[in-house]
Structure 1
Amino acid sequence: MNSTHRRRPRLGVLIGTFTTAAALAVTGLLATTGSASAAAVPAHAVTGYWQNFDNGATVQELADVPADYDIVAVAFADATATPGAVDFTLDSAGLGGYTEDAFKADIKAKQAAGKSVVISIGGEKGTVSVSDATSAAAFADSVYGLMQEYGFDGVDIDLENGLNSTYMSQALKSLATKAGGDLVLTMAPQTIDMQSTSGEYFKTALAVKDILTVVNMQYYNSGSMLGCDGKVYSQGSVDFLTALACIQLEGGLDPSQVGIGVPASSSAAGGGYVSPSVVNAALDCLTKGTNCGSFKPSKTYPGLRGAMTWSTNWDAASGNAWSSAVGPHVHQL
């Protein structure tokens, strides 16, 4: 797996095979045809969820999301009457008259600035049933339709009410075939979902490892969980972040596919909030072996992807304190 998880033309190979002039000609052709137009997700990236609703956090347009965010997950697409299929409707009224045209233009502007915008499926109350080949096909077709309609770079799987690894994997592989190598695929499982490689969410992540960008597990609304050392850790601590990340890192995911998901403020979740400094300490512990708590991993993972927050709106309500502290730290890893 490469560091971006978005397959790019191997121009270095072309240059080694052809003359420089020929390689430049190929580069120009790629730029013209658009094959190399999508910006790659950075090796160390920050993901933020953008709320398509008003729940008391700051109402935003996509253009308001700070540049510290490399991946913006639009929350959420909803299930339709067709099993497996999803659709998205911009809450223009709830967002102060934000129009679809402006929304689509903002997506393009984010992409022009090197960012990725994906459509998130699920959420706390969202249930999308992908449990057979027919619903898997409906899921892939509908998500690809949204990508074409709005210009999304990919999809985020945030199904908190169960999923079937066999058919979700099938759906995501089908989507990747339709969308091509630049697909951005992110996931946001709950902590319980990633305690064991035998869990359906973990099995799904491993089954689509060749197309997976990052798993940003939600280290909140969780309570206590086991770390990779078999000890119990409580949410809200640096050890909770590092010892649980270790399970994914030792369970088969590439370090570049692991991110730390946390609330942007104490108002953003029922429990598990940690200050940005604790997030940064956990990142240091995992990537460098420094600033650890009582748990210290047996080795370091300098390729760790980064961090995620719920949400850009709650971040804005706190003066963007989370992204302004965690963003630069992630990008300097």
Structure 2
Amino acid sequence: MDSTSSTHARVRFRDTVPVRTVAVAAAAAAVAGLTVVAGTADADNAPTAVPRHALTGYWHNFDNGSVVQKLGEVSDAYDIIAVSFAESTATPGAIDFALDPAIGYASEQEFKDDIAAKQAEGVSVILSVGGANGTVAVNDAASAEAFAGSALALMDEFGFDGIDIDLEAGINATYLTQAMETIHATAGDDLVYTMAPQTLDMQSTSTEYFQLALNTRDFLTVVNMQYYNSGSMVGCDGQVYAAGSVDFLTALACIQLENGLAPSQVGIGVPASPGAAGSGYVEPAVVTAALDCLTRGTGCGQFVPDQTYPDLRGAMTWSVNWDAHSGNAWSSVVGPHVDALP
């Protein structure tokens, strides 16, 4: 991810899931050696199930010249909001999160209240780890333990529904798998767990990112690969496709769809506006055409998949702030289209 108003009203029907209790905090404390005070999270805000088709957007905890907005101001088109970003600490593998004063929150509690309000609307709010400048090394058993413990503690403290892995400086699939398995074992099946690898990271099942996805696919929510800041890539048919086209989106998604991930675990990640990324922006109509190609077999370009994937999860954008910068032009088109997928 780069570190650099209409709304779409919707009604969400979600399954009821167990409330995260103090037991999560206790487990997190035991793993990370932390002290967690009971009651810091709002027990009335249970994590919500992600809908069959979902729109994901990243929210900036910084001011980069797009739009500064509080969580409560994010378009209601989004089903998953990834708070960007958690930061590394002096302890290898451990992460922390602190609000940037530039966002304008009067207190941490106001931010937590915004998370709770979004959750009450059926939105999952998760904590993203990484970004273009984020370096969190999980490369041995101790750092895996520290990552899991600190992540669980932050989930409990703020009420986050889960974790997004957006590490762009390389990952170790073995130990990050260990960390995510610990998080899942404690948080349970209501954990919302997403990933945002770069295109190169998902070209082959031999890459560490793809291995992580396959290792954790029993509880992985969705992989929203970043189809931007990328050169041309090989699709699942062995042909090379240039970024910025329907074929680039569909032929690369096909690699994941045909190599072990369920359609519900695959999403298309694109910039919300030209200023959101160095390259790879496509008009919202290109995104909707790619979604139709993969789910319905219509709207395809040169590449036509051998089968359709009606359960495809949906789409992601970097970011809700860049979307707001362009008057929510991206989510107002792609959001309703994701809702209407078969």
Query: Aligned-pair distance for 1:178?
Result: 1.4
Helix, strand or coil for the counterpart of 1:223?
Answer: coil
Alpha-carbon separation, structure 2, partners of 1:234 and 1:98: 45
Kept in 1, the 8 Å contact 2:246–2:301? The answer is: yes
Structure 2 residue 211 is matched with structure 1 residue 206? no
Structure 2 residue 42 is matched with structure 1 residue 41? no
Measured against aligned partners, the alpha-carbon deviations of 1:194-217 in whole angstroms (never above 9, x if no partner) come to 000010000000000011000000
Match of 2:277 among 262, 266, 269: 269
Kept in 2, the 8 Å contact 1:61–1:98? The answer is: no
Alignment of structure 1 residues 177-326 onto 2, 5 Å: 177-326=185-334
Q: Are the structure 2 counterparts of residues 211 and 35 from structure 1 closer, same or farther at C-alpha, using a change threshold of 3 Å? A: farther
Alpha-carbon separation, structure 2, partners of 1:7 and 1:107: 18
Query: Aligned-pair distance for 1:95?
Result: 1.2
Helix, strand or coil for the counterpart of 2:114?
Answer: helix
Query: Aligned-pair distance for 1:63?
Result: 0.3
Alpha-carbon separation, structure 2, partners of 1:300 and 1:223: 26
Q: Are the structure 2 counterparts of residues 125 and 330 from structure 1 closer, same or farther at C-alpha, using a change threshold of 3 Å? A: same
Which residue does the alignment assign to 2:146? 138
**Residue type of the partner of 1:121?**
V
For structure 2, the residue ranges without an aligned partner over 5 or more in a row are: 1-12, 19-42
Which residue does the alignment assign to 1:80? 89
Alpha-carbon separation, structure 2, partners of 1:63 and 1:285: 33
Alpha-carbon separation, structure 1, partners of 2:168 and 2:219: 21
Query: Aligned-pair distance for 1:222?
Result: 0.4
Alpha-carbon separation, structure 1, partners of 2:48 and 2:125: 11
Kept in 2, the 8 Å contact 1:226–1:233? The answer is: yes
What TM-score do you get using the length of structure 1 for normalisation? 0.89
Which residue does the alignment assign to 1:60? 69
Query: Aligned-pair distance for 1:39?
Result: 2.0
Kept in 1, the 8 Å contact 2:17–2:46? The answer is: no
Alpha-carbon separation, structure 1, partners of 2:210 and 2:106: 37
What TM-score do you get using the length of structure 2 for normalisation? 0.87
Identity in percent? 67
Alpha-carbon separation, structure 1, partners of 2:137 and 2:245: 34
Which residue does the alignment assign to 1:119? 127
Alpha-carbon separation, structure 1, partners of 2:313 and 2:17: 18
Kept in 2, the 8 Å contact 1:84–1:129? The answer is: yes
Higher RCO, 1 or 2 (CA under 8 Å, sep at least 6)?
A: 2
Alpha-carbon separation, structure 1, partners of 2:117 and 2:45: 17
Query: Aligned-pair distance for 1:223?
Result: 1.0
Kept in 1, the 8 Å contact 2:58–2:83? The answer is: yes
Q: Are the structure 2 counterparts of residues 35 and 180 from structure 1 closer, same or farther at C-alpha, using a change threshold of 3 Å? A: farther
Helix, strand or coil for the counterpart of 2:102?
Answer: coil
**Residue type of the partner of 1:45?**
A
Kept in 2, the 8 Å contact 1:8–1:36? The answer is: no
Kept in 2, the 8 Å contact 1:7–1:181? The answer is: no
Query: Aligned-pair distance for 1:272?
Result: 0.3
Query: Aligned-pair distance for 1:38?
Result: 3.1
Kept in 1, the 8 Å contact 2:163–2:193? The answer is: yes
Measured against aligned partners, the alpha-carbon deviations of 1:114-172 in whole angstroms (never above 9, x if no partner) come to 00000000000111100011100000000000001100000000000000000000000
Alpha-carbon separation, structure 2, partners of 1:140 and 1:95: 27
Kept in 1, the 8 Å contact 2:173–2:211? The answer is: yes
Alpha-carbon separation, structure 2, partners of 1:156 and 1:299: 29
Which residue does the alignment assign to 1:26? none
Kept in 2, the 8 Å contact 1:7–1:182? The answer is: no
Kept in 1, the 8 Å contact 2:16–2:48? The answer is: no
Which residue does the alignment assign to 1:174? 182
Alpha-carbon separation, structure 1, partners of 2:301 and 2:221: 28
Query: Aligned-pair distance for 1:96?
Result: 2.8
**Residue type of the partner of 1:62?**
L
Query: Aligned-pair distance for 1:185?
Result: 0.1
**Residue type of the partner of 1:268?**
A
Which residue does the alignment assign to 1:19? none
**Residue type of the partner of 2:306?**
S
Query: Aligned-pair distance for 1:256?
Result: 0.1
Count of matched residue positions in the alignment of Structure 1 and Structure 2: 305
Q: Are the structure 2 counterparts of residues 230 and 84 from structure 1 closer, same or farther at C-alpha, using a change threshold of 3 Å? A: same
Which residue does the alignment assign to 2:36? none
Alpha-carbon separation, structure 1, partners of 2:81 and 2:46: 18
Alpha-carbon separation, structure 2, partners of 1:201 and 1:7: 31
Helix, strand or coil for the counterpart of 1:321?
Answer: coil
Q: Are the structure 2 counterparts of residues 35 and 74 from structure 1 closer, same or farther at C-alpha, using a change threshold of 3 Å? A: closer
